[in-house]
Structure formats: structure tokens, C-alpha cells
Amino acid sequence: MNIETFINNITHLGHASIKIKYNNKVIYIDPFKISNNEEKADYIFSTHPHFDHYSEEDINKLIYKNTVLIVVEELKNKANKLNAKEVIFVNPGFKQNHDSIIFETVYAYNINKNFHPKSNNWVGYIIEIDGIKIYHAGDTDFIPEMKNLKTDIAFLPIGGTYTMNYKEAAEAANSFKPKIAIPIHFGSIIGTKSDAQNFISLLNKDIKGIIL
């Protein structure tokens, strides 16, 4: 499947929440303010413990007997109480081939603010499905580790205050050159649709910007 077709299987559910459907699998990343009629999850990824990225209320709407939950080590006590089939605990640098997907974790942290310290070992994810790599950055600034990323699709926070702003996010995308860059972390708690549009306007011409 080519990337343009694959994008049709991805939904931005608001804020930093992403849904991916492929080969009868349903994947959520940082589900937050999820409607009650969303499909159950085969995989749920959470980047860090903040309420808008690890929401047990929303996770419980999505869990069923086959759900695999992937969370940072800090959430071990909480996540083990949920009714997932399997819980996988991660730190930056983790990689696993699980059923039909490959996923790995990368650093996500702040450089010039203290909301997301590097020492907390919170993460972004690179999820590979059918040879297509999808990067969800989590809550992060433009950190040095990004320059070495190799991904086809990048979801980048653009809201500022707690993460990169749209200018910094565009600079990040231009450094590692995904084929498609998609802004997240706007329109709810922080950030506006204008920020998302401005982010896209600053991307290099060989990067396609999409607002989902």
C-alpha cells in the first residue's frame, strides 16, 4: 500500500489522539475525549502519564479481551489494574515486533521548559505497518534525537507552551524529512487551527503537510 492510500486509514481524533485502522487491526495513540461509539482497540499506545495522553476513562472505553496496552514504565502500577490482554512497559530505545506491527520508542522531552523532563523517560513512538513508518512524537520540543529519525509519516505537536510551537515543529520536520507531516496537539487545550496552517506553510516543498 502506498502512503497516500494509507493516510485514508488514519484519523486525528483531536488534541494528540490518533486512530489507525489496517488489516482488521485498530490502533489508538494517546486516546483522549473519545466518543462512546468508537471501535474497540487492538493496540493502545500512551506516550506519558499526563491526563491528556494517559486517560483511563478513555482507555476503558476502548479496551476489550484482545487489547494490547503499551505504556511507559512509570505507569506500571496503574496500567496493570486495567483489563487489557497484555500490558507492555517501555522506555526510550525499546523495540518489539508484535503480531503484524513493529514498534519502537524514541525520546520525547522539553529542552527549555520543565513540563516533560528527559529524566522521566517518556516517549514518542515509531510504528511500522506494512513497511510504512508512522512517528507520533508525544509531548516534546525539537530535540537533537529527531535529526536521526527515519519515518514516512510524522505527527508533531505544534501548540507551544508545553511542546514545540508550529515554527519549531516545522523546523523539526524539515530536519528529518518525513514524506508527510501532520500537526497535532492543537485545538483543545492549547494551539489553534491557524497554528496548524502556519506549520504546513513552513514545511519544505518535498514534505506534504496535511491537517486531518
- For the chain (length 212 residues), average pLDDT per consecutive 10? 86 92 92 92 96 94 95 91 92 92 96 92 96 95 95 93 92 97 84 86 95 91
pLDDT reported for residue 195? 84
pLDDT reported for residue 191? 65
Q: In what order do the strands lie in the sheet with 208-209?
A: 95-98, 101-107, 123-129, 132-136, 153-157, 180-184, 208-209
pLDDT reported for residue 81? 87
Length of the chain: 212
Over the range 179-204, which residues count as b (16 or more CB within 10 Å of their CB) and which as e?
Answer: ebbbbbbbbeebbeeebbebbbebbe
pLDDT reported for residue 142? 96
pLDDT reported for residue 194? 83
Query: Rounded to an integer, what distance in angstroms lies between the CA atom of residue 105 and that of residue 170?
Result: 21
Strands 95-98 and 86-90 turn out to be: unpaired
For residue 7, the tally of other CB atoms under 10 A from its CB is 15
pLDDT reported for residue 168? 96
If you compute the radius of gyration of the chain from its CA atoms, what whole number of angstroms results?
16
pLDDT reported for residue 67? 95
